[in-house]
Structure formats: structure tokens, C-alpha cells
A = this chain, B = another copy of it.
Amino acid sequence: MSSEPFDVAAVRSDFPIFDEPINDRRLVYLDSSGTSQKPRAVLDAMTDFYESANANVHRGAYFLSDLASRRMEGARSKVAKFIGATDSAEVVFTKNATEAINLIAGSWGRVNLNKGDAVVLSMLEHHANIVPWHMLAQERGIEIRFLPVTGDGQIDLTDLDRWFDGANLVSLSAMSNVTGALTDLERVVTAAHAAGALVALDACQLVPHLPTDVAAIGADFMAFSAHKMCGPTGVGVLWARRELLEAMPPFMGGGGMIANVTTEGFTTTELPHKFEAGTPPIAEIIGLGAAVDYLSALDMHEVRRHEVELTAYFLRTIKERHGDDVVVHGPAEPSQRGGVFSFAYKDVHPHDLSQVLDQRGVSVRAGHHCAKPFMTQLGVGATARASLYIYNDESDVDELVDALSDASELFSF
């Protein structure tokens, strides 16, 4: 298959949002690292669930409830397989990746970390992988270390032995949502484990874009969100090694996570339900199952190949057309990055830039991308960010490149 070109036109036709103009313009959607668009198959899976199988799960002896439970658990197996987990009880559904990281901090962290213990993050983490640790630090007095970032927007992995020395947990993004930089996971995992630290990965930008195999990566925790990988809002995933999950206390309490409740106390039920208090996002989990099917049918190796090619085209074209007027943060080498580009254009403020681009239907995000410490380090308040996915092609990049000239016109001073 790898000799045929990736068929973007076919992919686009699977996504209803591209059928009609948006705001009277062709939608040039370049914010997939914010959230992805959804293929018809995912929407259909959820609608079909509601129309023919809707009931609460794990709770009734009747046909419909059993059907709903099996569809939901079937989706869990699919997700486990998609990320290379052999034990689907290691896949815990949360509401988003943010809850997944809060769960690590609030459950594992609260019982395992004490004053003087250390968690290692990096300067380019998303707030989802910073604030939960600040909250824990306020509560338990732990130390947080921030790995520096190199000039080309990668986590600086020199001197890891010193950074990891005495650390209990290393929690890093596997791919930056600001610079697109891929983290060398093998090096991180090896060094962290050598130092006796566990490894958590913020895989929000990894799982949607690259083939992912938790067994091969060897990390201990991994978090990601459905909505960035063709799935619906309202569901995220925490994957963690069984032994860890088994030893951890619950994060929230309620129905579905108990073995018994009395007026005196409670005992928890087995994995993964122990961490899924209350009615789960049933339809959303089923939607995520369909998203995983969709991406698997495309083949994640092909997805990655397409994105590397389009990344190369992006970097080449923007340089050719705008030369030094554009500064793109992040690695220059497409194989070391995903298709996420934070960039500056002349001295036009990112917010104004995205406003001008939007006038042509070119949808890029402007802001701090939930990475304020990194913005502070870059010395900017915000960047503009374009990000690519399976439905983008060269014409989208061309449209962005053309639209930049409009900004030059308007803010030419």
C-alpha cells in the first residue's frame, strides 16, 4: 500500500463538515491539534447506538442494557488494541485527557508522593500536564522540575541522568502541541527507569498521528483524548500498567466503581471500573471505538507518511513564498516532528493574523495553546498555530500561504 499516494479526497468525503461552505467560504481547517473533525462513521455509530441500543451499562439484566454494555466493552477492546495494550482492563475511560492526568496526580500522586519527592515535567508541557502537579505540590509540598527546551522547540534531553536523579515520576508530552516536536521516548523511558522514576506520557498529539504501541514504548501511564483522533468530545483515555492501577486508590467515588458500600465504608470493584465512577460516556466510548476503526482502516503508518510529506511541503512552501518574514518554531526535519506549526509572521500579532486568515476560511488558532510557561520562554504572549491531519492536502497549505499576504497588506507598517 505504501507506494500509492494517500487519498485525501476520499478521506475528505468521509467528513461531512467539508461538504458545504462554512460562513460562505471553503473551510481550510488547520486546527486539528485543537480538535479534529469527525468522519460520518463516527457520528453514525453514536446515532445508531442511541437509536437502537441505548440503555445504561452493566446494570440491568435486560437485553438492551446488555447490548449497550457489550458495545461499550467492545469499544474498549478496540482502543486497547489500537495502542498495543494486551489487557483491555488497563484502558480507563475519562472525560478527556486532562481528567486522565488529574487522575494520575490525584490518585497515584496523592498516595505515592510526599514532601521532598520530585516530578519532572518540561517547559513545553500543556497546562493539562502542569496544573495538576502544581495542585499536588500545593497540597503535598513536592518539587517540580522543568526540563528546558532546545532552540528548535524540542525537550532538551541532555543531562537526563542529572535531571531525573531522585525523581519519582517523569511526565512529558510525547509530541508538542506547540512546536510539533516528537520526544525521543526510548531515551526518556530508559533514563527515567534507570533513575527509578515512573514515566507518564501526555500522548494527546501522539496517538492521533503516529502508530502507538504502549508495550514497545514501555511507559507506565499514558493519557489522550478522543476528540483529537476523529472521535467525539466527552471521552478521554488513561492507559496504565495493571499493577499500578491495582495499587491506586479510586479518584472519584460513586456507582459502578464499588464492590460493596455500607454506612461504614466501601470496597472497590475490579479494573477498569474502579476508576469509572458514575454513568460512563457510553455513546462517546462507542464513537471512539468507531474512530479507532476508521483510523485503523486508513492504517496509522500511512497517516504518518502522509503527514510527514505534507509537513515537508508546508515547511518548504512557506519558506519559498515568505522567506524570513515567517518564523516557524519547531524542528526543521519532518521526521522529527508532527504537522503542528507555531509561527510568527512579520510583527503581526497572532490574534490579528488568525483574524485575517479567517476572512478566507483559513482556520488557525492564535493564543498560548495552553502552554504559557513555554510562551514566556519564547518571550511572546501568543503564537499563531496551524496543524494538519488526514483531510488536509497541499491546497490547504497553499491557501494559508496565500492568505498571509493579506495580513502583510493590512498591517504593512
Interface of A with B (CB < 8 Å)?
Answer: 16-17, 19-20, 22-23, 27, 29, 31, 34-35, 37-38, 43, 46-47, 50-52, 54-56, 59-65, 94-99, 101-102, 106, 123, 126-128, 130-132, 134-135, 138, 144, 146, 225, 227, 232-236, 250, 252-258, 260-263, 265-266, 277-284, 351, 354-355, 357-358, 361-367, 370, 372-373, 376
7 cross-chain pairs, A with B, having the tightest CB-CB distances, nearest first:
A98-B278, A131-B253, A234-B234, A234-B281, A98-B254, A128-B254, A255-B370
A263 CA to B134 CA, complexed, in Å: 9
Of B94, B132, B260, B351, the residue contacting A61 (CB under 8 A) is B351
Do A278 and B234 touch (CB < 8 A)?
A: no
Chain B residues in 8 Å Cβ range of A35: 54-56, 279
* Subset of 26 A-B contacts with CB under 8 Å: A20-B52, A31-B60, A37-B54, A55-B363, A60-B354, A60-B363, A60-B366, A61-B351, A61-B355, A62-B363, A63-B363, A98-B252, A98-B278, A127-B258, A128-B254, A131-B258, A135-B253, A146-B263, A232-B283, A233-B280, A233-B283, A234-B234, A234-B283, A260-B372, A262-B372, A281-B281
- Copies of this polypeptide in the complex: 2
- A362 partner residues in chain B, CB cutoff 8 A: 62
Residues in B neighbouring A51, C-beta threshold 8 A: 16-17, 19, 43
- CB contacts (< 8 Å) of A16 on chain B: these are 50-51
Whether the Cβ atoms of A284 and B234 lie closer than 8 Å is yes
Contact of A233 among B127, B277, B284, B366 (CB under 8 A): B284
Given contacts A17-B50, A283-B232, A284-B284, contact A62 B128 (CB under 8 A): no
